[in-house]
Structure 1
Amino acid sequence: MAAAAAAAADLTGTKRVMAYALCKHLNVDPSTVSSIEESDIASLFSHIVKSSQDEVMKWVKFSSDFAGSDGKQQALLDNLNQDLSQKSVVLGDGLKPSVADIVVFATVQAFVLPYLFQTRVSDSELQKFPHVLRWMDYIQNIVDFGTTTQKINVAKSVFAPPSHLKKADKGDTESSSKKAISGQKIADKSNGSADSKKKPAGETKAPEKETTAAKDNKTSGEKKKDNSAGKTAEKTSEKAPEKTADKDSECNISILNIQVGLIRKAWKHPSADSLLVEEIDLGDGNVRQVVSGLAKYCSPDDLTNRHVVLITNVKPGKLRDVMSAGLVLCASTEDHTAVEPLIPPEGAKIGERISFAGFDGKPEDVLNPKKKQLDKITPHLRTDENGIATFKGIPFTTSAGPCRSSIRNGNVK
């Protein structure tokens, strides 16, 4: 009886957390939600969300099964872990959580909270589900589940430099120090021998005092040189990180201004069979003319009224006497037998800038061709196994989700 009461209390708490998060996510007044204790998960969800989409309801059923299948949760966790191995959220594109993520999180969270480890799943067993843990850590930090919800502490790897490198550095320092001391001794000995040869016989004590004063002056002069050299070294070391930062920024995707565009017109290049010319709308009256090498893969009719992804801060220039002020990004197979422009998701706004998680810098006004910035970035642009366009594995993201292509594991440029 006590175990049954505890399970009922856990389920009631789960439904309260779920109801709160769904209301916040959908801007629904929580006071309109009643009878949480009497409702099951599916009824509560339908009352708040009012959705009957098959994909959504599949995850609602998963949550109901998870909450009501005592002893079978680990098998369900294994299925969830496999499903999340290829994506960031349970349902939807890119990184935006859905109502399905909220429902699944609320039920799974109650199962894996630290104070329940001893009765349900141990910490070591939980590590068998790394994709679930990664997803839970993301969802609990981006969705508001209320102040009463206890967060799950997910252990994250911390990089530590290899110890042998530290030893090598220490050894090099000691070796350099010994060489410097040895060199100083040899120099001192040579100077002493030279001084003794220069001293005339019968030298009086007065010249010795003058020699001592001269040495003092010499030492003072050496100190000034050392101080000057030290200041120069300090200035050099201060400038070095700036050069490194500049170098890194040249391979930083945020320097590119990548936008969603709509091709209003397309036609064949007048003097090049492999080229097409497109008139691309970027919104707010901003229209660009772009020349692309797509004639072998697309007809002008294929491109007309098609949404595309393009770099808009490349330096304008002529291609076979026709001005081009942009670069349409395309995915291609390794052998280049198939090429197609990247596809923004339905609902993406014309002119909106493509974003990349973790890269929030301001784009350059115009790229400098002499720096070959594009040449350093394009090797890191690819489509993944699901066809999502990425930079170093990070999706091309719009307000409506990620950009993609039918070409999987392909190059993008």
Structure 2
Amino acid sequence: MASTDESITLKRKQLIASALIKHLSLDPGASLSVSGKDSITSLYTNILKSSGKCSPQKENNEVMKWIVFAESFPVDSQACFDALCGFNQDLAQNSVLLGNGTTPSEADVIVFSVIHSSVIGLSHLEREKLTHVMRWMDYIQHKEEFVDLFEKILLEKPAFEPLGKRGMAKVEVDSNAKKTLQSTKNTEKSEAEKNIKKNDAGKKVTENKESMPEKKKPAETEPAEKDKEVSVSLLNIQVGLIRKAWKHPSADSLLVEEIDVGDAKLRQVVSGLAKFCSPDELTNRHVVLITNVKPGKLRDVMSEGLVLCASNEDHTVVEPLLPPEGAKIGERVSFSGIDGKPEDILNPKKKQLEKITLNLFTDDKGVATFKGIPFMTSGGPCTSSIPKASIK
């Protein structure tokens, strides 16, 4: 299984190199020798140097964010689909990943090269759930000369049928149907008026029936509210530094930490880490924590946050997520394509945290993700030494 994954990863890198060379109009003979040890970042940097192109720092930083996405894109088919669903949300408001949409960027080319094999293998039903991804893939394959690199993805598009005899016949049928419907309504109205005159109770029944649609209006907002509840943007996830840690005075399985998140006062957090980490191991360690959970006491000790930890399947190995070097204390973890203001304090009754953590996991390289989208900081993604782990 490991060799298969390595083969897929190497193939992706080779396609990225070839696609970038085409995109930048470089000499095809300049194709790089790509090995499994090469990172996508190094491939991109070397090819960009060969082209003589110098991108502005801001644009280069944006490309790097999508390179992280490409590096962490999973191999497992189900995990791939989950990651594509997250990517679909990214594209909901954007025609391309970077730029004004008239020309695909290097980021578009890199991500296209990585996900192409996964997209082309999707079923019709799966493609219907990824409308923005399919639209974007179709745009890239028509803007770039990738015919000899990637099999063309065929999309089912509705055919245009001019208004001819069939259209006129349809109009006539619709017109007749409207007349029939209007006649039926008039008859029903006449009968209703008779009933109202005979029985005042009939009026109340009629009024009740007419008022029923108004009662349904609040229900229409329920799906939107449910979607909002499970968005990771509701969480205020920050980078913190544990300044001090000690054993809980009355619970052997708990530790207490004082964590610096850039505020004037250190934040006290109680964690169930005593079986997995010693206080000395946690002291001066950078962590990722949720700071807008409702404060409360755990065995008589106040806790004002939740340190996010990765855990293997049988929970025998647990460790706090690790922010990258360069991440700033107090900065908020972001998720590409997901915007929104976090709740001031999460409402425990809505079970928001429980619903969100169902979609938190590390990928096969240990990168922490929400639905396949990496936990990003100014220094890069947050990680764990435990691949394919649940995060809570």
TM-score surpassing 0.5? Answer: yes
Alpha-carbon distance in structure 2 between the residues aligned to 1:213 and 1:310: 66
Matched, 1:394 2:373: yes
For the pair 1:91 / 2:41, whether they are aligned, the reply is yes
Q: Which residue number in structure 2 is paired with residue 283 of structure 1?
A: 262
- Judged with a 3 Å threshold, the aligned counterparts in structure 2 of structure 1 residues 368 and 215 are, in CA distance, closer, same or farther, namely closer
* Distance (Å, rounded) in 2 between the aligned partners of 1:325 and 1:224: 56
**CA-to-aligned-CA distance 1:85-111 (integer Å, 9 cap, x gap):** xxxx9318xxxx97557558999xxxx
Once residues 159 and 261 of structure 1 are traced to their aligned partners in structure 2, the CA distance between those partners, rounded to angstroms, is 49
Give the drift of 1:306.
Answer: 0.8
Verify the 8 A CA contact 2:245 2:257 in the aligned structure 1.
Answer: yes
Q: Does structure 1 residue 154 correspond to structure 2 residue 136? A: no
Instruction: Please identify the structure whose Cα radius of gyration is greater.
Output: 1
Alignment-derived partner of residue 217 in structure 1: 197
Answer yes or no: is the 8 Å Cα contact 1:297–1:338 preserved in 2. Answer: yes
Matches within 5 A, 1:161-200: none
Larger RCO, structure (CA 8 Å, separation 6 or more): 2
Q: 1:283, 1:290 → 2: CA distance? A: 15
| Conserved 8 A contact 2:262-2:330 | yes
Q: Take 2:231 and 2:195, find their aligned partners in 1: how far apart are those partners?
A: 56
Which residue does 1:67 correspond to in 2? 26
Hey, what does 1:194 align to over in structure 2?
none
Q: What SS class does the counterpart of residue 67 from structure 1 fall into?
A: coil
Q: Percent identity?
A: 53
- Whether 1:295 and 2:274 are equivalent positions in the alignment is yes
CA contact (8 A) 1:382 1:411 kept: yes
Letter of the 1:300 counterpart: P
Corresponding position: 1:245 with 2:224 = yes
- Counterpart amino acid of residue 154 in structure 1: I
Aligned residue in 2 for 1:274: 253
Computed over aligned residues only, the root mean square deviation of the Cα atoms, in angstroms, reads: 4.6
Which whole-Å CA distance do the structure 1 matches of 2:358 and 2:105 have between them? 43
Instruction: Give 3-state SS (helix, strand or coil) of 1:264's partner.
Output: strand
Partner of 1:10: none
Q: Deviations over 1:328-376 (max 9, x none)?
A: 0000110111111001111111111111123211111111112222111
| Structure 1 residue runs of 4 or more that deviate by more than 6 Å after TM superposition | 104-107, 137-140, 144-152, 156-160
Is 1:366 aligned to 2:349, yes or no? no
For the 8 Å contact 2:320–2:384, the answer to whether it is kept is yes
Matched position secondary structure for 2:357: helix
Give 2:388's aligned residue: 409
Gaps of 5+ in 1: 1-58, 108-130, 161-183, 189-211
Distance 1:314 1:222, change over 3 A: same
Q: Tell me if 1:230 matches 2:210.
A: yes
Give yes or no for the alignment of 1:343 onto 2:329: no
Q: Distance in 1 between matches of 2:339 and 2:328?
A: 19
Aligned length: 265
Shift of 1:215: 4.9
Alignment partners' CA distance in 2, 1:314 and 1:339: 21
Per the normalisation by structure 2, the TM-score is: 0.56
* TM-score when normalising by structure 1: 0.53
Q: 1:248 to 1:106 in 2, by over 3 A?
A: farther
Contact 2:243 2:259 in 1 (8 A): yes
Does residue 1:315 correspond to 2:294, yes or no? yes
Give how far 1:68 is off: 3.6
| Closer, same or farther: CA 281–219 of 1 in aligned 2, 3 Å | same
Is the CA contact 2:98–2:105 (under 8 Å) kept in the aligned structure 1?
no
Q: C-alpha offsets along residues 194-229 of structure 1, whole Å, 9 cap, x if unaligned?
A: xxxxxxxxxxxxxxxxxx996572499857744542
